[in-house]
Amino acid sequence: MNHLTAPTRRVAFLLVLAALGCMACAGVAQAKVAKSKGTVVDVMTRNLYLGADLGPALASTSQASFFEANGGIVRQVEATNFPVRAKGLAKEILSEEPDLVGLQEVALWREAPPSVGPILSGKPSAETVKYDFLALLLAQLNKKGNKYKAVVVQDEFDFEAPANANNVPGDGPGGGTGLLANAEVNGRLTMRDVILAKVGDGVVTSSPKSANFIHPLIVKVAGGTEIAVTRGWTSVDAKVRGSKKFHFVNTHLEAFDDETIYPSIRAQQAAELVQPGGPATSKLPVIMVGDFNSDTKTEVKPGDGQAYQVLTKAGFRDRATGKQNTCCLSTTYDLKTGGGKAEFDHTVDHVLTNTPQKVKLVSSTATGLSKAKSGWWDSDHAGVFSSLLILR
C-alpha cells in the first residue's frame, strides 16, 4: 500500500478539513467539522525477531539435548544477521516517521565461558555482549542525526546456559569429557520490550512505566529444569504536536502456551492488561500496540483468539490495516533464503484503542513484507503503522 510521509499526511488532513468546511453551507455542518478537529499522531508496532527459534531448547528432554539445542540457537542468531537486518528495520521506521514505536523481541545476546552455574543458581551472569539489538537499531536510526530515542526499556525472559555453538564434539572444558564435553560457550538471552519516541517534532512523553506479567509460561527443559518464560509491557503518557494527552502501551503476549486450554497464558496476560488499574487502563485515551499472538479472524490453531477476545470484550478496537497479514515468515537458519510473502498468512500484531470514538483511523499499512535490497527479510513479522486522528 502506498503511503504518505508524516508531514504530507498532516497537510493532506488539513486540506480535507478545509474542503469539508467549504462544502458545508449551514452553520450546523460547520460546527460538526469544527468539533471533529484533532491531531494526527503516527504510531507503529515492530517485532524485531530475536534471531532464533527457541522451540527445540524448550522441548529438550535431557541435558545433552538441551546443550545441543542451545548450540543451534547460537548458530541461528549468527545466521539471521541482525546487524544487516537492523538497516532494513531502521529504513522501515524512518520511511514512515512514526511518533511512537513499540518494539518487541529486542534481544540482548551475551556470552561467557561454559558453566552450569547459572542454571543451578537461576542467576544469569554472562556480560560480554555479542549482539545488542537496541543499540544496533538506534545506531542505524540515528546515523544521520538524532531521530529516535528509547524512553522505556523492560527486561523480560533472561536465561543463560551452555551451548555447543560450533557443533564440534569433544572441544569443551576438561579435555572434552563430562557434562560440558561439547560446550565451549555459555549463551545468555535477555528479551526486552522497548518504546521509542521521535526526537523533536512536538513529541513529548512522560510517566514511563513497565513490568512483567504475573502469569508466565513455565516450561521444563533438560529433563526437569523449570524455566519461567517471562513477558511484560511498557507504557508512557504522550502528547504529540499539542494533541490531547494519551496513554501509549506496548506489549508482547506469550507465544508457546497451549491455546486449547482455557484460559490460556496469553489470555491471562491480556486480562492483566485490562483489569482495573492495569497498564492498559487510564483516564486518558489508550493506544496499545504489540505482538499479541492472537486474533479471531486468522486463527492458526483453535483457541488462538482467546487473548484478542479478552481485549475486545474490554472495549479495545483495531486501528490498523485489515488488508495485510503480519505473521509469520518461517525460518530455519537465516532470513535470506527462506520463505516468501505468502507465508504472512495471519495477524497477531495490532494497533488498538479503548476509545474508538476519540481515536480515529486515518490510514494504515503493513511494512517489511518484502526482502530489503540487501536480500534479507527484516524480521519474521511485518510491522504495522497507523496514522491516528486523536480528537480534542
What distance in Å separates the CA atoms of residue 378 and residue 291, rounded to the nearest whole number? 16
Confidence of residue 25 (pLDDT cuts 50, 70, 90): very low
Q: What is the pLDDT of residue 28?
A: 38
Q: Are residues 166 and 249 in the same domain?
A: yes
pLDDT at 348 over 50: yes
Contact 108, 132 (CB under 8 A): yes
Higher pLDDT, residue 298 or 49: 49
pLDDT at 83 over 50: yes
CA geometry: angle at 17 spanning 15 and 18, to 5°? 65
CATH of the domain at 86: 3.60.10.10
What distance in Å separates the CA atoms of residue 49 and residue 379, rounded to the nearest whole number? 5
Q: What is the pLDDT of residue 36?
A: 56
Q: Are residues 150 and 230 in the same domain?
A: yes
Q: Are residues 358 and 218 in the same domain?
A: yes
Q: Is the pTM of this model over 0.75?
A: yes
Domain with 343, as residue range(s), is: 38-391
Closest CA to 20 of 39, 37, 6, 38: 37
The β-bridge partners of 161 are 187
Q: What is the pLDDT of residues 351-385, one digit of tens each?
A: 999 999 999 999 999 999 998 888 899 999 999 99
* Cell matching residue 139: 545506531
Q: What is the pLDDT of residue 290?
A: 98
Q: Are residues 25 and 152 in the same domain?
A: no
Confidence of residue 333 (pLDDT cuts 50, 70, 90): low
Q: Are residues 21 and 100 in the same domain?
A: no
Q: What Rg do the C-alpha atoms of the chain give, in angstroms?
A: 22
Q: What is the pLDDT of residue 68?
A: 92
Q: Are residues 97 and 205 in the same domain?
A: yes
Average pLDDT over the chain reads: 89
Q: Are residues 111 and 211 in the same domain?
A: yes
Report the domain count for the chain: 2
What distance in Å separates the CA atoms of residue 257 and residue 301, rounded to the nearest whole number? 12
What distance in Å separates the CA atoms of residue 168 and residue 57, rounded to the nearest whole number? 18
62, 74, 126 from 221: Cα distances, Å: 7, 17, 20
Contact 150, 139 (CB under 8 A): no
Q: Are residues 108 and 228 in the same domain?
A: yes
Q: What is the pLDDT of residues 196-251, one digit of tens each?
A: 999 999 999 999 999 999 999 999 888 788 899 999 999 999 999 999 999 999 99
Mean pLDDT of 147-158: 98
Q: Are residues 272 and 381 in the same domain?
A: yes
pLDDT at 300 over 70: yes
pLDDT at 7 over 60: no
